[in-house]
Chain A
Amino acid sequence: MIRLFSRSFSYLNVTSQCAARIKKICKANEFMRILVDGGEGCGGFVYKFNIESEMKDNDYVIESEGAKIVVDQDSIALIKGSTVDFTDEMIKKVFTVKENPQADMTCGCGSSFSPKFK
């Protein structure tokens, strides 16, 4: 079987800080799931992060520097091309989705966004 893959294209860009943090908090069979949920937050759509161990049908897997991020098919359409980062500050330690090309507006704290409705 021949499988085509690209090293230059990824659905998400993952920063080194983010990859390091995921590796630190996930056990061997675990991964971080990113989910977009509607009707919440100042922008109307909110990013959610979970640690899980079970894959579902139609999940997209993004691997970077040994860290594994899983996104479902509905959510990937809303975050494709974004950068996933981890910020460690005195006030908070938090995973964030930045520079989302699908977002029309992002709320001040960065946890929610308003998509470009077509």
Chain B
Amino acid sequence: MLANVGYLFKLADRSINVIHGKDCIKLLQGLCTNDIDKFVSSPQWGMNSLFLDPKGRIQCHAIIVKAPSFVDYDPAFFIDTHINQSSILMAYIKQHAFRKDVKVDNLDELMSVYATASPVSIPEEPEGARQFFDEIGEPPKIDEDLGRMLYGYTCFVDPRCKLLGTRTITEQDCLEIEEDSGIVEKGSEHYRYLRILLGIPEGPPICNEIPQMLNFDLLNTISYNKGCYVGQELMARVHTQGVVRTRTYPFLITDKLEGLTDAVHPPVEFVDEACDLNLSGKRIVNDKGEVVGEIFEAVKNIGLLKIRGGLKQNIYKTENDIKLLVWKPYWCNETSSSTTIE
């Protein structure tokens, strides 16, 4: 049997809502940071997006996904969001759906989100591209109103970064792992370790932050030429200034550094399950003792931090003298964005 060929993660911390109705493209175009019109006419099946408040701060992160049998004349999208933010996002959408033919239904009891990722291979297709399984078991039960939208499954390369593998939205407990395939089933906590080690923020810790500071401009999330949407003024201002002074990086607390130099990111095995430091919200200092940033998400001995002025060294410390190994994420190519670190 092959060891660790890949993982199948059941993401129990994600919530699925379906948004449909003839005005749903127009409404989402006016609310989210990414270009829905372009997404609808593209072969992409999943799109990363943020919902902002009028001041440009993040309200909620969501992956917008075309329903399995998507047609642009009667569109339906799955909104894949963190379970704690689902009700906030749906209230936000309903508040703005004034005079719009839009319906929203929660599918948490029917649908689940899965992710597959492998430390040894990444998908060949670009981010957001649709994927197909060799075969799938019984088709989902058909609900009278939502049947057309829910029939089948939708699987796509993670729209943020292909190192996160693929994402699948399907009826609950529909995916099975073949014996001797070397694929291991894991839960959402394990996926969170992988996401943090890759330096990709999501979920409640990013609320009220500015998107570019969390590298979202490098994660296929913000369209600068789609026109007006809520919070667009701040996005445009940051973009035209051309400078993002604060960026996000992953960190690890470890004593054993062997085997890290050649890896894309430290493997998930570096996560110390016994560690419980609770570093969220702690400030960090450079070797001159100056406060240069803050940790905004931490779990076990890993986490994500924001550093003002970019990454100048590889070891930073918290104010209570815990050493943090910080690195620039492998996918983070700032030349792909017009905004750079000053």
Residues of chain A whose beta carbon lies under 8 Å from any beta carbon of chain B: 36-45, 74, 104-105, 107-108, 112, 114, 117
Q: Does B96 contact A (CB under 8 A)?
A: yes
- A39 and B228 in contact (CB under 8 A), knowing A44-B31, A104-B54, A108-B233? no
Residues in B neighbouring A37, C-beta threshold 8 A: 98-99
Q: Does B95 contact A (CB under 8 A)?
A: yes
Q: Are the CB atoms of A44 and B96 closer together than 8 Å?
A: yes
Q: Does B279 contact A (CB under 8 A)?
A: no
A39–B26 Cα gap in the complex (Å)?
A: 8
Q: Does B229 contact A (CB under 8 A)?
A: yes
Q: Are the CB atoms of A112 and B228 closer together than 8 Å?
A: yes
Q: Are the CB atoms of A43 and B97 closer together than 8 Å?
A: no
B interface residues, how many (CB within 8 angstroms): 19
Residues in A neighbouring B55, C-beta threshold 8 A: 105
Q: Are the CB atoms of B232 and A38 closer together than 8 Å?
A: no
Residues in A neighbouring B100, C-beta threshold 8 A: 38-39
Q: Are the CB atoms of A39 and B31 closer together than 8 Å?
A: yes
Q: Are the CB atoms of A117 and B95 closer together than 8 Å?
A: yes
- A38 and B230 in contact (CB under 8 A), knowing A44-B31, A104-B54, A105-B54? no
- A114 and B99 in contact (CB under 8 A), knowing A42-B231, A44-B30, A107-B228? no
Within 8 A of A (CB), among B82-96: 95-96
- A107 and B27 in contact (CB under 8 A), knowing A39-B96, A39-B98, A45-B96? no
Residues in A neighbouring B95, C-beta threshold 8 A: 38, 44, 117
Q: Are the CB atoms of B30 and A40 closer together than 8 Å?
A: yes
Q: B229 — nearest CB in chain A belongs to which residue?
A: A42
B318 CB, nearest partner CB in chain A, Å: 37
Q: Are the CB atoms of B233 and A41 closer together than 8 Å?
A: no
Residues in A neighbouring B232, C-beta threshold 8 A: 42
Name B's interface SS.
Answer: loop
A114–B232 Cα gap in the complex (Å)?
A: 13
A44–B29 Cα gap in the complex (Å)?
A: 11
Q: Jot down 14 A-B pairs with beta carbons below 8 A, ordered by A.
A: A36-B98, A38-B95, A38-B98, A38-B100, A39-B27, A40-B26, A42-B54, A42-B229, A42-B231, A42-B232, A43-B54, A44-B95, A108-B233, A117-B95
A81–B280 Cα gap in the complex (Å)?
A: 45
Q: Are the CB atoms of A44 and B230 closer together than 8 Å?
A: yes
Task: Please pick, from A38, A42, A108, the residue contacting B96 in the complex, using a CB distance under 8 A.
Answer: A38
Residues of chain B whose beta carbon lies under 8 Å from any beta carbon of chain A: 23, 26-27, 30-31, 54-55, 95-100, 228-233
Q: B235 — nearest CB in chain A belongs to which residue?
A: A42
A38–B100 Cα gap in the complex (Å)?
A: 7
A41–B226 Cα gap in the complex (Å)?
A: 11
A57–B314 Cα gap in the complex (Å)?
A: 68
A44–B96 Cα gap in the complex (Å)?
A: 7
Task: Please pick, from A39, A74, A104, A105, the residue contacting B30 in the complex, using a CB distance under 8 A.
Answer: A39
Q: Are the CB atoms of A45 and B228 closer together than 8 Å?
A: no
A90–B95 Cα gap in the complex (Å)?
A: 37
Q: Are the CB atoms of B54 and A38 closer together than 8 Å?
A: no
Q: Are the CB atoms of A114 and B230 closer together than 8 Å?
A: yes
Residues in B neighbouring A114, C-beta threshold 8 A: 54, 230
Return the 9 tightest CB-CB contacts between A and B, nearest first.
A38-B98, A114-B54, A39-B30, A39-B27, A39-B96, A40-B30, A44-B230, A105-B54, A38-B96
A38–B229 Cα gap in the complex (Å)?
A: 11
A84 CB, nearest partner CB in chain B, Å: 20
Residues in A neighbouring B30, C-beta threshold 8 A: 39-41, 44
Q: Are the CB atoms of B98 and A45 closer together than 8 Å?
A: yes
Residues in A neighbouring B233, C-beta threshold 8 A: 42, 107-108
Q: Are the CB atoms of A74 and B98 closer together than 8 Å?
A: yes
A107–B55 Cα gap in the complex (Å)?
A: 10
A44–B51 Cα gap in the complex (Å)?
A: 11
A107–B30 Cα gap in the complex (Å)?
A: 14
Q: B95 — nearest CB in chain A belongs to which residue?
A: A117
Q: A113 — nearest CB in chain B belongs to which residue?
A: B54
Residues in B neighbouring A105, C-beta threshold 8 A: 54-55
